[in-house]
Structure 1
């Protein structure tokens, strides 16, 4: 695979096709719906529920959560690039997005059956781990569609809009489950809290939410046109690994900057995932937040993240994604370090510096996606975003494992913050030498 760097974005923008707004919004609806998994399942509701005293010692269950999510990340790392490459070659990107999204919905549905008893801990851990695997595989195909709903001139704004819709969707869904089922004693509907039923019914709502909002993109965005040189003979799953090896070797020869970016993002995006994955767990376990207070914090966090992500989209288009990424990572490292260093200050410290963390998470995620999307040749989006998934957000074993190691070493949940900050810092150091001069969008047929 050869990555063209000959055409500058301004030149390519002269004859850009106009993307219908409905198509962009349909694509962004998947991000909106994904809040059911990101905000409710893995961050502020279900994982907080799993690491509560109902399932055993909080420090122990937190470490187990880290290890299980780490294993899930390894599984995705082994499968994401070849599934993306196969969907590219077959021209079945939308089909696989539908299949993996359906499996995510089933995993969410499984969490409804996790009672607040120690005997259900492993069932809950496995359900969230399986959901993580299929969510990240779905995201490979979803991210690859970015080039189908944007132009060289608008790619930053469209990507930022998608991430922003995800955060706003999280706010709306968290408000729904908090008001109806969690606040006070079972919420406004006075749902029974016995056996964690109020949390479990929240997960049922999350399942429906994800399933409904995953549909628009499947209707509005067509299967991609597969160029003749990409539409190769149908290959086996294991044969795709051979092709993947050739792709990596060719990237190393022709666009080494891309390899370094993939490596850097492999590290810092795992740290970004860790910030949200363990944010609610830390709020409850180390700073004494109740379930309701965690939800209130989650709503505030998503508001901050959503606004900052949408606002920095145009900045991405104007100055390029690298400055956005570097600035965001510096802010994350500083704020994360202060959460740990000042943790004896209690909930006030967490509120201040955790919200500052959230200010930088979304822009870094969105800019990372656009950085890569600007250099992928037409027809290779799923394959290269498969690599992107493998080396970063999808391969979520770095941050969870680092979190688990520090909790296990020191015996207290609060030390897990150090592991997450270290992952972010290493990612920042690796990202600094990546050359922004190669951020040129390859010409692509639409």
Structure 2
């Protein structure tokens, strides 16, 4: 018989592979290739494309955040998380595959925004359940290490998929399968590629990781219990200064990161005239540096705590982000952007592990849902500010400046956290009944 420790380790590797499965969506669809394609080839202009893309990503993220709190509370009260995660994967894969039908025509802009928003809804909502599964599997003293390993593996998956897209479809004079460049088929094919990648590499989690017992669909008793638990959790947040400050800070730096992911590729293409292939190569470099940062900082998380790890990451993001916005040339922008990537993964990973430490064991999914809600409730604000400033100034460079303000505000708030009450290697929010 396999020892329980080895079984859990195998499940944790299967869980981490889910980050490998989902990361190409963020890299290829949300940030680089599809976002750039919609802005440059589908929208009437790049400025209008950047604004429209920002609104679509904001709307889908906000809907996912609200649903995540409610459904997370239901799963905490009713048991299994995997059926809900499976539904999210199906929605994400279907919306991503539909990108194939988005032709380079302004009349297709609305359809493009709808299918990508639905796919993003599945992605964002799925993160709530995936994060809660980590807290169920990993030992308290290794949450930071496994969270960082997952993020690092995710960036590696995004890197491999980016390279495949570049080598097979985007860079060759004659793309694989003889795809027609006139209709941008060599770009649209990345939608089905990412969808297939997601389905294939998410299978180990569904086949290997043991779920909590309970009915797959909630009955009235479970729904009523989930509502009571959610009300209690919201009251806990209001009473617990550490948790409240952490959620507020997470909301701010998540807004900055989400805006960067949604609009970074469009900014690179519009400001420096980078082609799709150049944007994709830049994305490959970012995935490499982000993966390195996630793995290196994972040990810092377990040894020194999530607060110090996040703060170090935010300082790095602000410094490198300022360098990217002030960059006088494409080369300077790419250097600053590559350095910025080192700090993206640590902030995301340490946020996940710190929330897992703070969350009550019986309310992890709903608290991760609340984390998603605080991170997305104002997610519209970043893209909206970018859209407004871009429209008023006619400059993508000026339009992207609010991202730095979100990171700065989050860092200032993080320094106010009572460090003595923030767990490092173990513990959870056990004090919150």
In the superposition, the TM-score normalised over structure 1's length comes to 0.89
In structure 2, runs of 5+ residues without a counterpart are none
1:68 maps onto 2:51 in alignment: no
Q: What is the aligned-residue RMSD (CA, Å)?
A: 2.1
Q: Which residue of 2 aligns with 1:159?
A: 147
| CA–CA distance in structure 2, aligned partners of residues 135 and 264 of structure 1 | 22
Deviation at 1:394, TM superposition (A): 8.1
Where does residue 442 of structure 1 map in the other structure?
428
1:148 to 113, 136, 145: 136
1:36 offset after TM fit, Å?
A: 2.7
Partners in 2 of 1:410 and 1:32 — Cα distance? 39
Q: 1:240 to 1:408 in 2, by over 3 A?
A: farther
Asked if 1 retains the 8 angstrom alpha-carbon contact of 2:41 and 2:105, the reply is no
CA distance in 2, matches of 1:379, 1:108: 33
CA deviation string 1:132-182 (max 9, x = no partner)? 112111110000011233112211110001001110000100000110000
8 Å CA contact 2:73–2:227 kept in 1: the answer is: no
Superposition map of 1:78-97 within 5 A: 78-97=66-85
Q: 2:12–2:134: 8 Å Cα contact kept in structure 1?
A: no
- The answer to whether the 8 A contact 1:117-1:195 is kept is no
Provide Cα deviations, 1:18-70, integer angstroms capped at 9, x if missing partner. Answer: 66432111101110011231111101111110000443110111111111212
Aligned position for 1:284: 269
Match of 1:6 in 2: none
Q: Deviations over 1:220-256 (max 9, x none)?
A: 1111258xxxx993216xx855642332113322x22
Give the number of equivalent residue pairs: 420
Q: In structure 1, what is the Cα distance between the partners aligned to 2:174 and 2:368?
A: 42
Aligned residue among 404, 408, 416 for 1:421: 404
Question: Conserved in 2, the CA contact under 8 Å of 1:267 and 1:392?
Answer: yes
Match of 1:299 in 2: 284
Q: 1:53 to 1:98 in 2, by over 3 A?
A: closer
1:379 equivalent to 2:356? Answer no
Q: Deviations over 1:389-435 (max 9, x none)?
A: 11116863232222222212212222222021122122222222112
The 5-angstrom pairing of residues 257-406 of structure 1 reads 257-342=242-327, 345-392=328-375, 396-406=379-389
Q: CA deviation at 1:273?
A: 2.2
Q: Which runs of 5+ in 1 are unaligned?
A: 1-15
- Please say if residues 184 and 292 of structure 1, whose CA atoms lie closer than 8 Å, have aligned partners that are also in contact: no
Contact 2:65–2:125 (8 Å) recurs in 1:
no
TM-score w.r.t. length of structure 2: 0.92
Equivalent pair of 1:136/1:394 in contact (CA under 8 Å): no
Question: Aligned partners of 1:414 and 1:124: how far apart in 2?
Answer: 25
